[in-house]
């Protein structure tokens, strides 16, 4: 079986990385597959993406970078992603990966005019999401972990909106029947979510949000790992 490619677009907080591992470690764990099922390529550090024929599916990690900055490594990855979707490789973008996928397919990404969205918050499936092969495993309203400043402001032509939240109309989308972007973090757990709220304490206060309330609202949720495991099935690893 060909491996699932994880495109690593950045690293988590250094305090978390030293004790909990990095984005790709959490993605692997969430999929409930052995590490040998994955091939990780760190595009932020300049590693080269593989030939499409050598992989079974694609996952794109989060990052502390901003898609709107159009960094060379990010633009190269976006071009590669567009070709992967055209070749009908199962593809899942998470947070930055969600935004990068939308950008790659012709959508618009920039700072969310509603501000920072951070915490264990409600995400609601729209009707298209309730019948989607990937997202339909979630309840219509799920509490999921969110941490982002930028959003998909305009979906690519032909994309289907699948989910929304109070602060973001494009929490998830699908494209071409084989590609999905999710703004939320299915790989996070409650401790990781708390660490991100604490790291952005000052920015949240400046944005008029209450970090203590957000911390109190953090909770474990099974829905992220369920979604990752469902993607693994759709990628042929079921």
- Distance of alpha carbon 44 from alpha carbon 188, whole angstroms: 21
Structure tokens at 32: 């409930």
69 by Cβ neighbours in 10 Å (0-12 / 13-18 / 19+) ranks as exposed
Residue 185: active-site member: yes
Residue 117: active-site member: no
C-alpha torsion angle, residues 127, 189, 156, 54 (rounded to 10): -110
| Candidate list 95, 103, 145, 170, residue with the active-site label | 95
- Distance of alpha carbon 97 from alpha carbon 77, whole angstroms: 10
CA pseudo-torsion sign 137, 141, 144, 150: positive
Residue 169: active-site member: no
Name the helix (H) or strand (E) containing 223: helix 223-232
| Candidate list 24, 44, 117, 187, residue with the active-site label | 187
Residue of 11, 204, 181 lying closest to 118 (CA atoms): 204
- Active site residues per annotation: 95, 185, 187
């Amino acid at each position: 079986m060909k491996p699932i490619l994880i495109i690593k677009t950045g690293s988590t907080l250094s305090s978390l990385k030293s004790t909990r591992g990095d984005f790709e470690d959490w993605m692997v764990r969430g999929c409930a597959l052995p590490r040998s099922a994955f091939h990780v390529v760190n595009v932020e550090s300049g590693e080269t993406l593989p030939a499409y024929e050598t992989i079974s599916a694609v996952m794109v990690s989060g990052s502390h970078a901003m898609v709107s900055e159009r960094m060379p490594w990010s633009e190269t990855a976006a071009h590669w992603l567009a070709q992967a979707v055209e070749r009908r490789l199962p593809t899942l973008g998470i947070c930055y990966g969600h935004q990068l996928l939308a950008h790659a397919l012709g959508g618009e990404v920039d700072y969310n005019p509603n501000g920072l969205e951070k915490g264990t918050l409600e995400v609601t499936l729209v009707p298209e999401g309730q019948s989607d092969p990937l997202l339909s495993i979630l309840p219509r309203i799920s509490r999921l972990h969110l941490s982002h400043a930028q959003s998909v402001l305009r979906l690519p032509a032909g994309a289907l909106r699948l989910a929304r939240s109070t602060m973001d109309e494009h929490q998830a989308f699908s494209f071409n029947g084989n590609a999905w972007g999710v703004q939320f973090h299915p790989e996070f757990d409650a401790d990781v979510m708390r660490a991100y709220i604490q790291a952005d304490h000052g920015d949240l206060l400046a944005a008029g949000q209450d970090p203590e309330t957000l911390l109190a609202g953090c909770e474990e949720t099974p829905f992220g790992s369920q979604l990752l495991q469902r993607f693994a099935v759709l990628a042929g690893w079921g």
